[in-house]
A and B are shown apart, each in its own frame.
Chain A
Amino acid sequence: MSTDIDLQQLPRLSELFKLFNAGKHLNRLSDPSLWVELEQSLPAYTELFKALGYELCVDGRGFAWFHNEEVSPSVSGQSRQLALLFMVIFDTQADAGYSLQRFSEWRVDRKLIEVVFEQHQELLIAEGLEVDELLALLAKAETFGFARQHVDYWELLPAVCRYLDHFEALADHLREQGAEQDSGEDEDDMSDTGGVS
């Protein structure tokens, strides 16, 4: 391991650090030049950030962020709301037959959010989220690098994969559970599903 990192070779260090430290995700799609910078000196950056006490995570799907173990309660609250937002969007889109992998092609606009709200009204109202709050959450999502705003719609950025992965894992889990329950009804001998719920 080389121990000497030449800071001259990292001209955009402070920019990157500021971005990550603000809790934002860097997306290759929306910020290709910064991404290239990171990609080309990735070992140096990783090491440098590590020395500073941050864990830089890079996902090959084109996004990077600082992994943070201890999250402040307000951030976690926001994160929870964001998770909910993306979950209901995924759910709505999946029902509408869209491939979730292609979320970056969706035009998330008021119309879509209204449909989303309609379909998850109970859940969202319980969380105190209505259409306007959901739209405000999208603006919040932009500050974390999950979305970017176009003239009349929001585009979801690759970093949303982090939520999508969770969502799919959850969906798989539920599907398995459902399958087991189905087969349980049929065969009656597979009853060890208690631990999963």
Chain B
Amino acid sequence: MIRYGFQRLVLLGSAGYQRAELPLDDAVSLIAPNNTGKTSLINALQFLLIINKQRMDFGSHDDSKTRRFYFPNNSAYILLEITLPQTGTVVFGCVGKGVSYDYEYFAYKGDLVVEDYRLPEGHLVQQPQLISHLATRGRSVYRYDASEFAKRIYGGRLNERRSEPDFTVFKLENSNDAQVFQQVLTRTLRLDKLASADVKKHLLQIFRRDLPDRNINFKQVWDEAFHDVNADRAQYEAANSQLALIQKMESFYEQRLSLRGKLVVWQTRVNEALSQWQDYYHQQITSLTEQEQMLEAQQKQQTERIKQLTRSQGDLERTIEQLEKENREQTQLQSRFSLVSSRAVMELQLDAIKRELYRVSAVLQQADGRTVAAIERALSRQKQHLDTLKQQKKNLDDNLYRSLGEQLSAEELDRLNRVLSEQAMVLSSEHFRVDLTELKRVLATATADRVELGGLSLSVARLQPGHKQLTEAALDEQIADTERELIGLEAQLAAAQSMEATRHRKQSLENEVQEAQQALADYDRLQSLLESAPERELAFQARTQELHQLNDELERFSEHTEALRLQREQVIDRQKQLQDQNGRIDRLRNNRLDLTEEFSYLKALPHHPWMAEEVWPLDELANNMRTFQQDCQALNQFNSELKAGIRELHAGGLTRFQYSEVEDQELKRIIEFSHQLPQEREALEKKARSAVVNVTASLRELRNGLLTFQSKMREFNRLIGHRRLSDLKTFKIEAEDESHLVEAINVLIAKAEQVETGDSFELFNQESVLDDTALDRAKQILIDEGNARHGLKVDDLFRLVFVVAKFDQEAETFQDIDSAASNGTVLMAKLVTGLAMLHLMQDKRHKLHAICYLDEALALDGRNQASLIETAHEFGFSLIFASPAPLTTVRYCVPIHHSDGANHISRDSWQMLEPLNSEGIR
């Protein structure tokens, strides 16, 4: 019975073995004390099976030490005999090259015969001679470097250069698995190192083909799917929040369209009118100037005439006044002389007066001097003197002078007489009283020429005596004299008085003469006036009429003048207006607002046609131009308002239309967009929903990957659960969901299904996906995780747990295989897991027995050893156990001998054990 697979391992001059031969076709118990070379023997297989230096593992021994150990010279050999189903028995070899402990590979079809490597004299063949030597033994040998060799072993793609035998050992279901296979194989050779993370890694690699290969950058997927939605949403919201502004702009936009239409028409009209204006203006001005000059001349003429008339008017008025005055004089004189019959009467009267005057003047020339007044004064003096005399006569015997003279000396009397008045001296006794003693004493106190009166002292020497005592006769005489004198004086007085009257009479006569002469003259005047009266009357009539005519004429003139003035004023006014208009037109023409670039292609810009047909007289040009100018300004205003509006909209995020060719187009689109907002929102929701659906496509892929992996794991568990491990009722490896991620994916997928199958997209029936919080949370979780891991893969969605249950106990879940059970059990579990993985990778049609190695084999009890051997067998592996003591569960017991400083294993020392029964030994 040919059993395809590994047959023998032979070491010659390598790893301290002079020669070693190890059976590989069934379970082997390699027996030797510690530190003998068990591990190094089996590790030698790595050179032939792992090949890649990086993956080979010699524990603490480093690479160069290891090479020196295995290939100390150019006749060190590691040889492996395998029977391949497709080729038959082949030998793979690794031989030292001597230089720097290097080595090379070779292979040939045929059995492994140790003698083939030995020269007749007993030495081993050296590497340079190997090929020719083997040729002499009928072997055609192929030499390889490491990578060429690996390709042959693992069936990698290679160009069939020669008719070389097919050396493929490990036919894999998929040649891409070579690397994983080697990794697992390496691990299997050193099972104690198989950790949980490796299990996950390897399983994933093994199942990778069935899983989506994708590393999903969820954020990117989401952003891509929602890119448009978010962009649209931003636009929608920007428009929605700025709706008021857009509406205002819409109104401006409309107004601008109308205004542009108007200006297109008006611009032409303005240009046309301006081209006509100068001629029109000059013609108007000239005609007006002519009118004005004419009117001015007329006005001057009139003024002259009026001056003239006014002068005549004055003359006439004066003449008339004179005539009236003469009439009045005549009337006056007529009434005065109404009683005078003729001029002669008046002349007679005059003569009479003149004669009387003449006579009176003569009287006056004779009369002389003394005046009436002087005469009257003398008269009064004489009357007084007469009284005194009469008094003296009456008191002749009984008066003061006489009484004093009787009692005083003459001297004393004289002195007193000089002091007292004559009247006092003649007072009667009843009018005085004398104290004689006292008087004498007083007189005595003074000298003879003085008189003392009380405090008064007078000198009397120069005083005349007041009274001279006359006799009665003397007195009578004197009284008669005085009485005569009085009569004379009275006659004089009468004469004087008549002279006075005469003088008065003369004066009045002179006046009368004058008056009479004047009256005569006046009378003459009257006569002449009476004579000219009829003539005067005629003149008065004529002049008055003239004056009337003149006044009428003047009045007419002033009316006419006013009319002329008004007329001229109007003409001047009109002129001024025209000039003013011209000035305005000039100014406007020089400041035309429609000369900016935009106005040059106004017609090409969108506008509403202008229908209103105004009349455009040239006269109104200035006003029209002003309107035009204002409209241009308004247009500019709209332009800048709209520009600013667009800028604001952009700043507010509404940028969708900003790459429109022209502003009008952008505005139009914005306005249309603003009208479409409800529909836009609906479309947005639809888009969002399909975005969710799109996003979930990749999530579905991930989730399907997870489900596939989980079902693969179930298969895998069936594979490893087939056989009992130690005392475990259950041993399985499960892919447990990372629930928060899986849940998140489920939420998204569920939502996608809901919106996909949702019978209506009606916006208000369902909650909008745009504001779905569960959706949002799920998305965020996936984004965060994806960001942290630089993408989401199937393996991020689960963690491997080891589920272990002993008999009579409930299953327990472990994250770490090492903590799941006892050392031996764990070892078993690892080995089973590893073998199962290798098994999975191998092509099941290419049945080939390989080997695996279990160091520290004594950790397993007999039952487990037997169970393990059987399980390995099922997976296509033979087990090599290494231990200081022999195991009885194996087929071969192989001890290592040591002699002459080298190890030996010869075929002869192999001990074959035949199984006694299938239960094994406890």
B740 lies within 8 A of A35 (CB):
no
Confirm or deny: B272 has a beta carbon within 8 angstroms of a beta carbon on chain A.
no
Q: How far is the CB of B207 from chain A (nearest CB, A)?
A: 20
Q: Does A145 contact B (CB under 8 A)?
A: no
Are the CB atoms of B789 and A104 closer together than 8 Å?
no
Distance A58 CA – B819 CA, assembled complex (angstroms): 14
A28-B784 Cα distance, complex, nearest whole Å: 10
Contact across chains for B740 and A158 when beta carbons are under 8 A apart: yes
| Complex Cα gap A28–B799 (Å) | 13
Docked pose: A32 CA to B780 CA in angstroms: 11
Per the bound structure, the CA–CA distance linking A105 and B789 in Å amounts to: 23
- Chain A-chain B contacts (Cβ-Cβ < 8 Å), number: 29
Judge whether A29 and B781 touch: CB under 8 Å.
yes
User: Does B738 contact A32, Cβ atoms closer than 8 Å?
Assistant: no
Tell me if A60 counts as interface (CB < 8 A to partner B). Answer: yes
Q: Which residues in A have their C-beta under 8 angstroms from that of B738?
A: 28, 62
Looking at A34, A35, A59, the one whose CB has the most chain B CB atoms below 10 A away is A35
Residue ID in chain A nearest B813 by CB atoms: A60
- Which residues of B sit under 8 angstroms from A33, Cβ to Cβ? 784, 787-788
The answer to whether A36 and B788 touch across the interface, beta carbons within 8 angstroms, is yes
- Report chain B residues within 8 Å CB of A36: 788-789
Q: What does the 1/0 interface line of A25-60 toward B look like (CB < 8 Å)?
A: 000110011111000000000000000000000111
For the complex, give the distance between the alpha carbons of A158 and B737 in Å. Answer: 14
What is the chain A residue whose CB lies nearest that of B801?
A: A60
Q: Bin the interface of chain B by size.
A: 10 to 19
Determine the chain B residues whose CB is within 8 A of the CB of A34 once the complex forms: 788
Instruction: Indicate if the CB atoms of A29 and B740 lie closer than 8 Å.
Output: yes
List chain A residues, Cβ under 8 A from B739: 61
Verify B785–A32 contact, CB threshold 8 A: yes
CA separation between A61 and B738, bound complex, in Å? 7
Let me know if B573 is at the binding interface, CB within 8 A.
no
The contact string, 1 if C-beta is below 8 Å from chain A, for chain B 845-875, is 0000000000000000000000000000000
In the assembled complex, the CB of B907 is this many whole angstroms from the nearest CB of chain A, namely 40
Cα(A36)–Cα(B741), bound, Å? 14
Most-contacted residue by chain B among A32, A36, A62, A105 (CB, 10 A)? A32
Which residues in window 212-244 of B have CB below 8 A to A? Answer: none
A106–B218 Cα distance when bound, in Å, is: 25
Inter-chain contact A32/B736, CB cutoff 8 Å: no
Q: Mark B767-797, 1 if CB is under 8 A from A, else 0.
A: 0000000000000010011011100000000
**Contact present for A60 and B815 (CB under 8 Å):** yes
CB distance from A6 to the nearest CB of B (A): 19
Shortest beta-carbon distance from B732 to chain A in Å = 16
A104 in contact with B788 (CB, 8 Å): no
**A59 CA / B813 CA spacing, docked (Å):** 12
Give CA–CA (A104, B741) in the complex, Å: 12
Query: Within the complex, what minimum Cβ distance (angstroms) separates B738 from chain A?
Result: 7
Mark B805-828 against chain A: 1 for CB-CB distance below 8 A, else 0: 000000000010000000000000
CB distance from B227 to the nearest CB of A (A): 23
Assembly CA distance A84 to B740 (angstroms):
25
Bound complex: CA A35 to CA B796 (Å): 12
> Does the CB pair B815–A32 fall under 8 Å?
no
Q: Are A35 and B788 within 8 A (Cβ)?
A: yes
Chain A: residues with CB nearer than 8 A to chain B? 28-29, 32-36, 58-62, 104-105, 158
**Can you name 27 A-B pairs with beta carbons within 8 Å?**
A28-B738, A28-B740, A28-B785, A29-B740, A29-B781, A32-B784, A32-B785, A32-B788, A32-B789, A33-B784, A33-B787, A33-B788, A34-B788, A35-B788, A36-B788, A36-B789, A59-B815, A60-B736, A60-B799, A60-B801, A60-B815, A61-B739, A62-B738, A62-B740, A104-B740, A105-B743, A158-B740
Give B contacts to A, CB under 8 Å: 736, 738-740, 743, 781, 784-785, 787-789, 799, 801, 815
Knowing that A32-B789, A60-B799 touch, tell me 16 more A-B residue pairs with CB under 8 angstroms: A28-B740, A28-B785, A29-B740, A32-B784, A32-B785, A32-B788, A33-B788, A34-B788, A36-B788, A36-B789, A60-B736, A61-B739, A62-B738, A62-B740, A105-B743, A158-B740
